[in-house]
Chain A
Amino acid sequence: MIKTEHLSKRYGTLTAVDGVSFEVRPGEVLGFLGPNGAGKTTTMRMLTGFITPTSGRAWIYGHDVETDPIAARSCVGYLPEGAPLYGEMTALAFLEFIADLRGLRGAARRTRLDTVVQRLQLEPVLQQSIETLSKGFRRRVGLAQAIVHDPAVLILDEPTDGLDPNQKHEVRLLINEISRDKIIVISTHILEEVDAVCTRAMVIARGRVVADDTPAGLAARSRYHNAVSVELEKPEQLAAAHDTLAGVENVTSVEVDERFARLTAFPATGTSILEPISDRMAHAGIYVTALRLEAGRLDEVFRSMTS
């Protein structure tokens, strides 16, 4: 379990992290969401013991990160932002170095190294020096070092940043695969990632936690939550469709996107407008190609909370 109490970090007059308190339990994948400079990296660095908090405390499985740093770090696998590595080493020598530092010896060391090499498909590049590797392989080496000792807590700072869509997909698969009975904390500003891997999302802005919810719960805060989008086959019916939608009971407002011949109707709080809209459109003879109930838009929630 990870626990923090009023964790803060100040640099001179700048407050990077301002009284952050939370708990994370095994099985949870917590996503730190927030704009650049919001304090995500600083929070992670305090959890991993790289920087010391100005005030407040943090525990990793009961080990205080300040007073018992070695024990706390032993439970944690960490991928720092940008995945810095020792460029002149070969991938294998580097992983062996980390395995040694992590206290793996003998057969256990060999088994764990084989496991991570296989899992991250590093076999073809093991003898290459890290500086000659592609970005995707470098990131995989970074992930391999983070999980080589099979840590109970995995902290990944923007693990998919700068990767292509296929590589992003692979990293997300890996996170989903190992998330059972582990604690995973990832930071990101890619919102689709939150839906893809996180069970819980924490929005951080200006060093404070402004929301802490499930991804679905966060999306439900969007004004698009339960709104209905309608796409028309014939753009010339836009005006007619607008009037029809506006006439439906409980519809409070209608937005029109002329470019895609799309209308969005917003319901009064707690009401359902999907069925009445569907009925009315058919009645009015408006040709509809798509009718969609919106779950809510994370990016819109994100913007409203952090800007």
Chain B
Amino acid sequence: MKQIAIVFRRELGAYFATPLAYVFIVMFLVLAASLTFYLGGFYERGQADLEPFFVFHPWLYLFLIPAISMRLWSEERRSGSIELLMTQPITLWQAVVGKFLAAWAFAALALVLTFPIWITVNYLGHPDNGAILTGYLGSLLMAGGLLAVGSCMSALTRNAVVAFILGIAACFALLLAGLPLVLDAFRGWAPPGLVDAIASLSFLTHFEEIAKGVVDLRDVLFFAVTMVCFLAASVVLLELHKSD
């Protein structure tokens, strides 16, 4: 636990050591707000809820989450500091989890900073704050799932840009797994069971359930299992490639 906390602290600090963190947070806030007000029609709908805010999160995350996760491991391998880190008395698991949690905390911070929209909607009307809280929870879980995918992609390469692009591709596939765009590619030949299985992997479907205010344990579990699986994959990939 201690080793995880130490890695977590260093990694979170590293985000703020470069301008990347500030650029990221500003971009996230500006994009989230403009999408909500212009594309989402926040005022025009005349409803006191944050649905037009949450509905764009998957698409924002598609580009922004890989930007957070791209350097997690690719940078360690490029600079060689992974050799320094992995010869300390720390297991690969502890390092992977510590770094992941730092990235997740950073995403959580960006999410928390969207609070003015929550104040706005409370000022304008009487929204269901329970549903809003659930929306935030769903968004945070989805960010965690995508970050675990991003961590795995970052473990694949020494190049941060490649990690970013792989991250977008993997996140895109997982977000859209429930849509015809992805499913049609399988329908022609795969057994229906497999198609259903792929459809059930869709981040979008699971997120939308939670964002509507319905906390189903299965959706929460889905994201938790996704995180564990992709972090385990990161550990395996790093074990194989760390010294390349």
Contact = CB atoms under 8 A, between A and B. Distances in A.
Contacts, number: 67
Contact of B84 (A71, A84, A88, A129): A84
Interface in B58-114: 79-81, 83-84, 86-91
Q: Which secondary structure dominates chain B's binding surface? A: helix
Nearest to B91: A70
A136 interface: no
B14 interface: yes
B232 to A, nearest CB: 18
Interface in A42-71: 45, 48-51, 69-71
Contact-size category for A? 20 to 34
A145 interface: yes
A85 interface: yes
B231 to A, nearest CB: 20
Contacts of B17: 88-89, 129
Contact of B89 (A73, A82, A84): A73
Given A73-B89, A102-B89, A45 B83 contact: yes
A73 B83 contact: no
Contact of B13 (A71, A76, A82, A93): A93
B81 A84 contact: yes
Nearest to A86: B81
B243 interface: yes
16 contacts: A50-B243, A70-B89, A70-B90, A78-B84, A80-B84, A84-B80, A84-B81, A86-B10, A86-B79, A93-B10, A101-B3, A101-B6, A101-B7, A101-B89, A101-B90, A103-B2
Given A45-B83, A100-B6, 8 more contacts: A51-B243, A69-B91, A76-B87, A84-B80, A85-B81, A86-B79, A88-B18, A103-B89
